[in-house]
Structure 1
Amino acid sequence: MIHDVQPNATVARLLLGGQLEQLREMRGLTLKQVAGTLYVSVSKLSRIERGRHRAVVEEVARLADFYEARGQDLEQLMEWARTAQGRGDYHSFTDVADAAARDYLDVEAVGLSAVYTPQVFPAVLRTQHYAAVLLGPMNPEEVARRLWLLGLRQRRFFQIRRAPVRVLLSEAALTSRVGGPEVMAEQRQRLLHAPVQVRVLPAHCAARSPAAAGFAVAVLGGGRLTLAARNRDDGRLWLDPDRKGRAAAQFGELWQAAADLRTYC
Structure 2
Amino acid sequence: MPSSTTPTARRQRLGAELRKLRERAGITATEAARLLGGNQARISNIEAGRYGVSAERVRTLSCHYDCSDAELINALAGMTGERKRGWWEEYREVLSTSLLDLAELEHHGTALRTSHTAGLPGLLQTTDHAREVFRQVVPTLPPPEVEHRLSFRIKRQHVIFRENPAPYRAIIHEAALCMRFGGPAVTKGQLTHLLTMSEREHITIRVIPFKAGGYPGSGQPIYYVRGPVPQLDTVQLDQAHGIVFLDSEAQLHKYRQILDRLETLALDVPESRDLIHTIAQSL
Aligned residue runs from structure 1 range 215-234, under 5 A: 215-232=222-239, 234=240
C-alpha contact (below 8 Å) 1:110/1:160 kept by paired residues? no
Deviation of 1:124 (Å): 0.6
Counterpart residue identity of residue 238, structure 2: N
- Is the contact made by 2:171 and 2:263 (CA closer than 8 Å) also made in structure 1? yes
Please name the residue that 1:34 is paired with. Answer: 28
Correspondence for 1:57: 53
The within-5 A match list for 1:101-112 is 101-111=99-109, 112=111
User: 1:106, 1:141 → 2: CA distance?
Assistant: 23
Structure 2 spans left out of the alignment, 5+ residues:
1-6, 34-38, 277-283
CA drift at 1:240: 1.8
Structure 2 contact 112–169 (Cα < 8 Å) conserved: yes
Distance 2:222 2:117 in 1: 9
Distance 1:77 1:121 in 2: 33
Amino acid at match of 2:190: Q
Q: Is 1:264 aligned to residue 275 of structure 2?
A: yes
Q: Is the 8 A contact 2:30 2:40 kept in 1?
A: yes
Percent identity (aligned):
23
Secondary structure of the 2:218 match is: coil
- CA–CA separation in structure 1 for the residues paired with 2:67 and 2:51: 17
Gaps of 5+ in 1: 1-8
Greater CA deviation, 142-151 or 203-212? 203-212
Paired residues of 1:90 and 1:106 also in contact (CA < 8 A): yes
Q: Report the counterpart of residue 243 of structure 1 in structure 2.
A: 249
2:228 pairs with 1:203:
no
- Please name the residue that 2:147 is paired with: 144
Equivalent-residue separation in structure 1 for 2:212 and 2:8 (angstroms): 35
Tell me how far 1:68 sits from its aligned partner.
5.3
Q: Please state how far the C-alpha of 1:36 moved relative to its aligned partner.
A: 4.7
Q: Distance in 1 between matches of 2:166 and 2:75?
A: 24
Per-residue deviation at 1:183? 0.6
Residue of structure 2 equivalent to 1:122? 121
- Aligned CA-pair RMSD: 3.5
Q: Are the aligned partners of 2:216 and 2:261 in contact in 1 as well (CA < 8 Å)?
A: no
SS of the aligned residue for 2:98 comes to: helix
Of the structure 1 ranges 250-259 and 109-118, higher mean CA displacement relative to structure 2 is found in: 109-118
Matching residue of 1:178:
181
Letter in 2 for 1:55: Y
Distance 1:131 1:77, change over 3 A: closer
Q: Which has the higher contact order (CA 8 A, sep 6+)?
A: 1
Q: Does 1:161 align with 2:164?
A: yes
Change (3 A) 1:53 1:89: farther
Aligned amino acid, residue 260 of structure 2: G
Deviation at 1:139, TM superposition (A): 3.1
State which structure, 1 or 2, has the greater radius of gyration over its C-alpha atoms: 2
Total equivalences in the alignment: 246
Query: 1:44/1:229 Cα in 2 relative to 1: closer, same or farther (>3 Å)?
Result: farther
CA distance in 2, matches of 1:256, 1:82: 41
Q: State how far apart, in whole Å, the 2-side matches of 1:163 and 1:80 are.
A: 18
